[in-house]
Amino acid sequence: MNRLLRISLLLFALASTAAHAKTPLARGTGGAAATISEQATQSAITILDQGGNAIDAAVAAAATLGVTDPFSCGIGGGGFMVVYLAKDRRVITIDHRETAPAATTPTLFIEDGKEMEFDTAVASGLSVGVPGTVRGWDEALRRYGTMSFEQVLAPAIDVAERGFRIDANFSTLVARNEGKFARFPAAAALYLQNGKAIRPGTLLRNPDLAGTYRLLGRDGVDAFYEGPLARAVVDTVNRPPTAPGVSVRGSRMTLADLANYEARVRLPVHSTYRGYDLYGMPLPSSGGVTVFEALNLLEGFDLASMSRAQVEHLYLEASRLAFADRDAYLADPEFVDAPVAGLLSKDYATQRRALIDASHAASGPVSAGDPYPFQQDPSQPLRPTTRVPQPESAHTTHLTVSDKDGNVVAYTFTIEDWGGSGMVVPGYGFLLNNELTDFDFTAPHPNIPEAGKRPRSSMTPTIALKDGKPAFSIGSPGGSTIITTVLQTIVNYIDLGMPMDQAIDAPRMSQRNGGTTDIEPGFASTMQAKALVARGQRWSDQPEEIGAANALVFNADGTVTAVSEGHRHGVGSAQVQTPKR
């Protein structure tokens, strides 16, 4: 390790252990980062200070989140990265979503003619997709970064070795997964003490993960997809190492499944809204298409002249219609020819908008529309029926980074459920995903399991340009509520004129074409909620925190504002580089 890197890591360690509260809002003139973890945000700033660009810093932050937020993300999963390249003035996306092993069939989660219990499917080898995160990081660094794996992983290695004090939020997440982690000794050894969640204030170290990151730094991406680490992943998935008396279903993943995994560099999905150019992830992420369709619906209303209650009512109804189309049509584009052009057509939005009652909510789920006539090729025969959407775990993480040269990264990645499948790869310190439960369990449906297929995702990393320059970035975790969180935040920011921190902190409502709308604790009794009830909106009787968003805003005066959560998920962390004197 060179002298400069050692000095930088020492400064990083001092900054990480300094006694100060997390700051969810920062403004300045340098590069910026916003994540849900103070250590991860600091990792990004450390890399920027060493001369790395936004892509380098995003990978550094992501690797650190694999240490400090391991139940949401890590190298055992996959994700989607949206990148604005300032020099080229263009947006690209890197799809490193997990894939189904080659042995997968459409009946993956069918037993005795019935759908397997969702929780049973989650905590099993059957649910584990071939991880894509490491391949995605390598693709990003090789194509668009300036640093090596060894350099960008160094801050995360430091956190994993030195450890960090877990907070109440971390301990609560472990407590919610005690039963799942107790099934797997390697997970229990990391996160449980005498069968119970490790307590707030515990110093948590993960030397196995530090060793894994060192292996990747030394030997590169192939160390994950070939050799002893790959064999350990396959063995864990196929013959899950469980506690005495515990038995869970295994998979049929092979070393060839890992060796053959490829990330995809895809063109972003693009739309416009009130003077902004919006860029998001294309399929197999449904997020960009669904958010942009909903915004097309809202664009036909003069929201600036309306009350907040009226705007929010229309937001909920637009989301309802967009989700009906999302559930009917969207899936992996290498397996399904989804009518994306039709769904994003402004003319289709005009037709679909006529179904919205501006004064009263729909009484329940609505049917999907017919976007095919709005495409150049209208011949597709699929005309789906409305069905209850497959459950989707509400856990993931999002980060966003910019640099002094104007590059921007919006990155959402995941292992799916809190704690993924619950299986830690023994000796390597990371949890494996349960991403295959994002497939629909029962055919016929565009999103059924198939060999090599990527399950449909809701991840919605988004970058907005105005007059050809970055205006803001936004993204969130939350399963299918990711889509509504991003949509509502954009409406709050653009249409309701809220500063981004207020747009993120505002109470969230998530309507996904159901009979009721998901809300957060305490919302139902507010005047805001009652004004919406008067318009026929109905709330779920199980309120729960929704999302944990992060954003950057690029201000007209050349400064950047980094924004994270002000109260959700234990409060987020935002930083902007300190100018060098």
Beta strands in 222-359 (DSSP E): 264-266, 269-273, 276-280
pLDDT surpasses 60 at 3 = no
Q: Which DSSP string corresponds to 350-413? A: HHHHTT--TTS--SS-------GGGSS-------PPP-PPPP-----EEEEEE-TT--EEEEEE
Both structure tokens of 69: 């937020």
- Calculate mean pLDDT across residues 390-415: 87
Global confidence as pTM: 0.94
pLDDT at 7: 43
pLDDT at 382: 55
- Calculate mean pLDDT across residues 166-174: 90
pLDDT at 52: 98
pLDDT surpasses 70 at 165 = yes
- Calculate mean pLDDT across residues 535-558: 96
* Pairwise pLDDT comparison (390 vs 349), residue with the higher score: 349
- Parallel, antiparallel or unpaired: strands 90-96 and 78-85: antiparallel
Both structure tokens of 562: 């980094």
Residue 504 pLDDT grade (very low, low, confident, very high; cuts 50, 70, 90) = very high
Give the separation between CA 406 and CA 510, rounded to whole angstroms. 33
> Are 551 and 472 a contacting pair, CB within 8 Å?
yes
Residue 90 pLDDT grade (very low, low, confident, very high; cuts 50, 70, 90) = very high
Q: Which residues contact 78 (CB under 8 A, 6 or more apart)?
A: 96, 97, 98, 129, 131, 132, 133, 136, 413, 414, 433, 435
Residue 4 pLDDT grade (very low, low, confident, very high; cuts 50, 70, 90) = very low
pLDDT surpasses 70 at 19 = no
Comparing CA positions, the residue from 473, 475, 441 lying closest to residue 456 is: 441
Enumerate the H helices of 422-526 as residue ranges.
Answer: 481-490, 500-505
pLDDT surpasses 60 at 391 = no
pLDDT at 581: 55
Query: Structural domains in the chain?
Result: 3-264+391-576 (3.60.20.40)
Written as one letter, the residue type at 333 is P
pLDDT at 569: 87
Both structure tokens of 91: 């947006």
User: Hey, is 420 helix, strand or coil?
Assistant: coil
pLDDT surpasses 80 at 360 = yes
pLDDT at 211: 98
- Calculate mean pLDDT across residues 418-422: 89
Q: Which DSSP string corresponds to 313-330? A: HHHHHHHHHHHHHHHHH-
- Calculate mean pLDDT across residues 123-128: 94
Q: What confidence tens digit (pLDDT) does each residue in 308-325 have?
A: 999 999 999 999 999 999
User: Which range, of 200-214, 265-279, 373-387, averages the lowest pLDDT?
Assistant: 373-387
> Are 268 and 323 a contacting pair, CB within 8 Å?
no
Written as one letter, the residue type at 391 is P
Q: What confidence tens digit (pLDDT) does each residue in 223-275 have?
A: 999 999 999 999 999 999 999 999 999 999 999 999 999 999 999 999 999 99
**Mean pLDDT of the residues in the chain:** 93
Question: Would residue 396 show up in a list of annotated catalytic residues for this protein?
Answer: yes
* Pairwise pLDDT comparison (46 vs 22), residue with the higher score: 46
Question: Which residue out of 35, 396, 481, 561 is catalytically annotated?
Answer: 396
Percent of the chain with pLDDT over 70: 93
* Residue 126 DSSP one-character state: G
pLDDT at 390: 54
Residues 340, 344, 349, 350, CA torsion sign? negative
- Calculate mean pLDDT across residues 477-481: 92
pLDDT surpasses 70 at 447 = yes
